[in-house]
């Protein structure tokens, strides 16, 4: 923790960067079959956030201790701020512990009563978060949103700086994030976007990040209160070293950056910083190191500052950071497989990388850019196709991941008779129930399509046969005129009485893949 009265930091805070990164990754994951590598990545993120929460909690406790010390020294001046700080700490701990209880409930639902939040077994469980946070019986998501809204209004009331108040409101916002090009997301509540169909480890990580935001808000308010009571009175009484990273989680190939500062330092006296035994080459406490391999890395050192009496004060510090491999999210927008013969919409995103810096290739077919998405057109049925993604980061092209898809042929369509209902809306009669004789006679053709709410593909009917039965039960087949009902078929329909039925069989239809296939028959009941 470090403060400066003469310097304004006009950049996105580490927590705002973390929010942006987490939402992009998790939204894209909803369309994926979650792999063990992704789950392991979230376990690393969870561990990093937990360590970060401990660091922020320790910093906030130090701030609160400074207010207590000032109150003991000058109760007349310090009591009013200590009382307010006590309210903030109480409200923060209450919300923090409530979030802890939600994490435990989710993990217990996934792993049982002996579950351990720090050692989740069924990390890919997709039901736990939805049941606990969104179900009618649980409904904890709405309660959590209400408590966050109340807490946000409470803590921002202590901040006079409009910019700081705006940053806190953004960090604790419960406005549902919007996904470009997906209108339905705009209708979801905050809790639905956070927990609907979310793997257990991802839901716990989101809640841990929320705890991080809450502790961050607490620290901002406590720091503001320390400033209000004149921090200069405490500069020589409590001195601690803190590491303030831009982010504890960085992508391989990028830089890890952290500010190493001395809390409550005199701005006219620059400290000397040593990291892993070596002195930093700058006076601003900026520590940067390259990242070439995924993993968690620890580092430590000390800060030396010259006191007004000429003595040197030393404060030790230690911290860590987590390097994760770049995560490219590749998912089929309509389905979990690719179908030969048609255009398959594909969504490709790389967290933290602009869309224009992403490129992709595909085996066993073609992959082309289309608007905000991609279109995959597989070539051979039964063979796999691999989509590989590269992204430009720090001026270099980096391979950020690949996904393998199975290629299948299109399923058989269903025959139907197109008609308009009483309201003039286009409808499809697929047999098996009574159908108006007038509508039947008005129809000229038999159509076929796949319309199972995943695929919506029209087929061209080549020919079909109708089978009627005379009074003796003898079958009388009649052939169509291509996709059209023949005149003989129409006459046979006219002769049918109420409640009688006939069958449409031997239907041949050709799809966009060029394959002509025999499809299932259809029973027609005349009303």
Helix (H, G, I), strand (E, B) or coil at 449: strand
The reply to whether 64 and 177 lie within a common domain is yes
User: 405 with 337: CB under 8 angstroms?
Assistant: yes
Last residue of a domain, one of 300, 325, 350: 325
Residues 5 and 120 in one domain: yes
Token pair 């937990």: residue: 50
Neighbours of 64 (CB within 10 A): 20
Q: What is the pTM of this model?
A: 0.41
Of all helices (H) and strands (E), which one includes residue 299? strand 295-306
**Domain end among 381, 408, 435:** 408
Over its C-alpha atoms, the chain yields an Rg (Å, rounded) of: 33
In this structure, the answer to whether residues 117 and 170 fall within a common structural domain is yes
Asked if 115 and 258 sit in the same domain, the reply is no
Are 82 and 153 part of one and the same domain? yes
Q: Are 33 and 187 in contact (CB under 8 A)?
A: no
Are 352 and 392 spatial neighbours (Cβ–Cβ below 8 Å)? no
pLDDT confidence of residue 215:
92
Rounded Cα gap, residues 339 and 379, in angstroms: 9
Residues 187 and 120 in one domain: yes
The answer to whether the CB of 124 falls within 8 A of the CB of 199 is yes
Task: State the CB neighbour count (10 A cutoff) for residue 291.
Answer: 18
Task: Determine the pLDDT at residue 337.
Answer: 86
Domain co-membership, 29 together with 107: yes
Is 383 within 8 Å of 398 (Cβ atoms)? no
In terms of domains, do 91 and 10 share one?
Answer: yes
**Token pair 């593909």: residue:** 457
Task: Give residue 94's pLDDT.
Answer: 94
Half-sphere exposure of 486 (CA within 13 A, CB side): 15
Q: Residue 287 burial by CB count (10 A; 0-12/13-18/19+): exposed, middle or buried?
A: buried
Res 22: pLDDT:
65
One domain, residues 22 and 168? yes
| Statement to judge: residues 314 and 335 lie in one domain | no
Show the domain range for 472.
414-526
CATH of the domain at 276: 2.60.40.680
Chosen domain end from 297, 325, 353:
325
Residues 3 and 53 in one domain: yes
- Stretches where the chain sits below pLDDT 70 are 1-39, 41, 138, 178-186, 230-240, 246-254, 262-269, 307-311, 324-336, 352, 394
Same domain, 86 and 217: yes
Q: How many domains does the chain have?
A: 4
User: How far is 219 from 240, CA to CA, in rounded Å?
Assistant: 15
**Spatial separation of the C-alpha atoms in residues 223 and 221, rounded to whole Å:** 5
What CATH number is attached to the domain comprising 342? Answer: 2.60.40.1080
Measured between alpha carbons, how far is 315 from 38 in angstroms, rounded to an integer?
A: 38
């Amino acid at each position: 923790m470090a403060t400066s009265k003469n310097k304004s930091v006009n950049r996105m805070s580490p927590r705002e960067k973390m929010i942006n990164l987490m939402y992009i990754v998790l939204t894209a994951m909803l369309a994926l079959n979650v792999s063990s590598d992704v789950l392991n990545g979230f376990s690393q993120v969870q561990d990093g956030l937990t360590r970060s929460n401990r660091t922020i909690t320790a910093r906030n406790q130090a701030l609160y201790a400074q207010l207590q010390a000032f109150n003991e020294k000058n109760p007349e001046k310090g009591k009013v701020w200590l009382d307010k700080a006590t309210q903030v700490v109480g409200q923060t701990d209450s919300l923090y512990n409530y979030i802890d209880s939600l994490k435990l409930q989710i993990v217990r639902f996934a792993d049982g009563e002996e579950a351990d939040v720090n050692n989740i077994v069924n990390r890919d469980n997709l039901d736990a978060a939805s049941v606990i946070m969104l179900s009618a019986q649980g409904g904890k998501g709405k309660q959590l949103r209400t408590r966050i809204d109340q807490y946000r209004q409470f803590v921002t009331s202590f901040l006079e700086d409009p910019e700081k108040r705006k940053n806190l409101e953004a960090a604790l916002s419960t406005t549902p994030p919007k996904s470009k090009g997906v209108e339905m997301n705009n209708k979801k509540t905050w809790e639905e976007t956070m927990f609907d169909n979310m793997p257990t480890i991802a839901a716990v990580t989101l809640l841990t990040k929320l705890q991080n935001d809450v502790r961050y808000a607490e620290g901002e308010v406590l720091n503001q209160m320390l400033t209000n009571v004149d921090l200069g009175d405490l500069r020589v009484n409590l001195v601690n070293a803190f590491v303030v990273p831009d982010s504890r989680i960085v992508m391989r190939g990028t830089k890890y950056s952290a500010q190493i500062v001395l809390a409550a330092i005199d701005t006219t006296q620059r400290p000397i910083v040593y990291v892993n035994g070596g002195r930093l080459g700058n006076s601003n406490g900026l520590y940067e190191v390259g990242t070439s391999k995924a993993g968690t890395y620890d580092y430590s050192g000390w800060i030396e500052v010259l006191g007004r009496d000429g003595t040197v004060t030393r404060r030790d510090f230690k911290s860590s950071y987590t390097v994760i491999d770049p995560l490219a999210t590749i998912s089929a927008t309509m389905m979990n497989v690719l179908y030969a013969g048609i255009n398959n919409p594909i969504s490709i995103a790389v967290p933290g990388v602009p869309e224009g810096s992403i490129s992709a290739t595909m085996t066993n077919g073609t992959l082309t850019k289309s608007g905000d998405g991609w279109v995959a057109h597989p070539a051979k049925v039964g063979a796999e196709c691999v989509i590989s993604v590269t992204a430009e980061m720090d001026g270099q092209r980096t391979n950020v991941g690949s996904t393998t898809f199975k290629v299948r042929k299109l399923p058989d369509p269903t025959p139907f008779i197109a008609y308009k209902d009483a309201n003039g809306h286009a409808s499809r009669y697929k047999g098996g129930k009574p159908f108006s004789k007038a509508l039947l006679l008005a129809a000229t053709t038999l159509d076929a399509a796949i319309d199972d709410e995943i695929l919506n593909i029209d087929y061209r009917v080549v020919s079909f046969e109708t089978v009627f039965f005379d009074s003796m039960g003898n079958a009388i087949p009649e052939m169509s005129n291509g996709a059209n009902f023949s005149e003989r078929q129409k006459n046979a329909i006219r002769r049918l009485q109420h409640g009688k039925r006939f069958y449409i069989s031997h239907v041949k239809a050709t799809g966009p893949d060029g394959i002509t296939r025999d499809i299932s028959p259809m029973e027609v009941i005349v009303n």
